[in-house]
Structure 1
Amino acid sequence: MFDIGFPELLLIILVSLIVIGPEKLPELIKSFSRIYRYIKEYINKTKTEVEKNIGMDSIRQDLHNEKKMKDFKNQETLQDSKKIDD
């Protein structure tokens, strides 16, 4: 998500240890993980609700059906061209 590599993560941990101190760091990490989890759940719920309201399922189904029809027509065209060649 944030594209943070190991060296960057190590630097963040070291700076956090110096600034916050080793006593409060575990508590701070727990707080950040709770906040992150809450935000992630909120975003997922909102995304699901928006998709439901705009009818994404029906749009996906329509697109899928349209693709199947195009594939079918392409297959028919290919078969017709083979008949002409024969």
Structure 2
Amino acid sequence: MLDMGFSEILLFGIVAIVVLGPDKLPQAMRTVGRWYGKARRLMHSVQHDIEKELNLLEMKEQVQRELDQIRAVERDMQQQLVEMRKSAEDIASTKAQQGQSNPAAQQPAQSIGE
């Protein structure tokens, strides 16, 4: 988090002893430690929340892509259904026209033995 080496920490400690004195230094270090802990927890919490939001956003995008694919398949299926109905109607009308032009085709074939 903080890029501090041993020499910086040592310098900080010496300045703290000079400024605060040896009697107030332990209390000040405890206070600084608490603040540092709170800051780390807060940063961890914020980082966790951001990761959660990013995952949620990715999931929403994935769901949207899946819904788009489903809608495309649905459109294709509806188009094929319309084409199949049209083909069935064409076949039915062709059979009806054949039946009107050839009445013998409508009579069942007689067997040879009759």
TM-score category (smaller protein): 0.5 to 0.7
Taking CA–CA contacts closer than 8 Å with sequence separation of 6 or more, which of the two structures ends up with the larger relative contact order?
1
State how far apart, in whole Å, the 1-side matches of 2:2 and 2:42 are: 19
Q: How many residues align?
A: 60
* Equivalent-residue separation in structure 2 for 1:6 and 1:52 (angstroms): 36
TM-score of the pair, normalised by structure 2: 0.46
* 1:18 counterpart letter in structure 2: V
Tell me the CA shift for residue 31 of structure 1. Answer: 0.5
Q: Tell me, what secondary structure is at the counterpart of 1:4?
A: coil
1:44-83 alignment, distance < 5 Å: 44-55=44-55
Instruction: Verify: 1:11 aligned to 2:11, yes or no.
Output: yes
Corresponding residue of 2:31 = 31
Structure 2 gap segments, 5+ residues each: 63-114
Q: What do residues 28-77 of structure 1 show as CA deviations (whole Å, max 9, x unaligned)?
A: 11101111111111111111112112217x57xx9xxxxxxxxxxxxxxx
Q: Report deviation, 1:2.
A: 2.1
Separation in structure 1 between the aligned mates of residue 2 and residue 51 of structure 2, nearest angstrom: 25
Comparing 43-52 with 17-26, which one deviates more in the overlay? Answer: 43-52
User: What secondary structure sits across from 1:29 in the alignment?
Assistant: helix
Unaligned runs of 5+ in 1: 63-86
Partner Cα separation in structure 2 for residue 53 and residue 2 of structure 1: 26
What is the root-mean-square deviation in Å for CA atoms of aligned residues? Answer: 2.3
Letter in 2 for 1:12: F
Percent identity (aligned): 31
Instruction: List, as ranges, runs of 4+ consecutive aligned residues in structure 1 with deviation greater than 3 Å.
Output: none
